[in-house]
Amino acid sequence: MTRAIRVVIAKPGLDGHDRGAKVIARALRDAGMEVIYTGLRQTPEQIVEVALQEDADVIGLSILSGAHNHICPRLVTLLREKGLDDVLVVVGGIIPDADVPRLEQLGIGGVFQPGTPMQAISQFIQSRVRHSESAAT
């Protein structure tokens, strides 16, 4: 039996608007994943530490403040340093179209803008994580 996909949902930065983070955490849990919600104001260092401890397959960041261009590069660098390159990183929130290609180039697996259905996000995660697992074996 395959184990459930493990997802860390995190709110980096100073912003406290956690509606989106909480809704997506519940949705992924209802879709059968194991979800760890870090709570507010986590530094990239703290988030990577949680991902390591929890053996996460996925990190989901919720960023509404416009700080994504600072937070995402730092997080990706830290993941590489810890040998966690295989963790899928997705970002949801207020991300202007112009920033999406830059985030994807960094290695962010998916960027979800306002209005994205929860189901689309959980299907995306399932397909990406399953795909990489079958590729590894």
Select 43 or 126, whichever has its Cβ closest to other proteins.
Answer: 43
Q: Which residue has the tokens 């997506």?
A: 24
C-alpha closest to that of 41 among 15, 22, 76: 15
CB of 19 to other proteins, least distance (A): 5
Burial per residue of 17-28, b for 16 or more beta-carbon CB atoms within 10 angstroms, e otherwise: ebebbeebbebb
CB of 37 to other proteins, least distance (A): 5
d(CA 60, CA 28): 11
Q: Which residue has the tokens 């994807």?
A: 104
Select 108 or 135, whichever has its Cβ closest to other proteins.
Answer: 108
Select 70 or 128, whichever has its Cβ closest to other proteins.
Answer: 70
Residues near other proteins, by CB under 8 A = 13-19, 22-23, 25-27, 29, 35, 37-41, 43, 65-67, 69-71, 94, 96-98, 113-115, 117-119
Q: 110: helix, coil or strand?
A: strand
CB of 11 to other proteins, least distance (A): 9
CB of 112 to other proteins, least distance (A): 11
Select 52 or 118, whichever has its Cβ closest to other proteins.
Answer: 118
DSSP assigned state of 56: -
Select 101 or 131, whichever has its Cβ closest to other proteins.
Answer: 101
d(CA 61, CA 58): 10
CB of 132 to other proteins, least distance (A): 26
